Amino acid sequence: MKTLKDITADKGTIRSQILEDADGDITYIKDVASHGCIGGACRNLIYYNDTKKFYQDHADEIDELLQEYEDAAGESILKTANTNGNLQNFLAWFAYEYEAQKIMREIDPDNY
């Protein structure tokens, strides 16, 4: 089993942003993986201008995560998504949460 210190990421990726935001606090990543970004839980993704910039900075990687999710789930998350009229915000949160879940599966595969 890995620990948070064993997790690495390429600079500039969503994964690296999560690890930076967590600042060594696995509870932060667990909370994001379990409960998502709603209510200001995801540092630096609280305001629409933050999520818009995040989306723009990571659009290609977000597209890859959407495809990965679709391949695993058998359908696009966008078919049933409630975007509340802000697709970029939804996709920023989706990608951040999905990547946090992947990190937690590496650390604690029996529970994620």
Q: Classify residue 20: in a domain, yes or no.
A: yes
Length of the chain: 112
Q: How many domains does the chain have?
A: 1
- 21-66 per-position pLDDT tens digit: 999 999 999 999 999 999 899 989 999 999 999 999 999 999 999 9
Tokens, residue 72: 């695993």
Q: What is the DSSP string of 49-96?
A: HHHHHHHHHHHHHHHHHHHHHHHHHSS-GGGT---TT-HHHHHHHHHH
Rounded Cα distance between 39 and 36, Å, is 9
Q: Could you tell me the pTM of the whole model?
A: 0.93
Instruction: Establish if 66 belongs to a structural domain.
Output: yes
Q: Is 112 inside a domain boundary?
A: no
How many whole angstroms from its chain centre is CA 73?
Answer: 17
Q: Is residue 33 part of a domain?
A: yes
Domain boundaries, position 42: 4-107
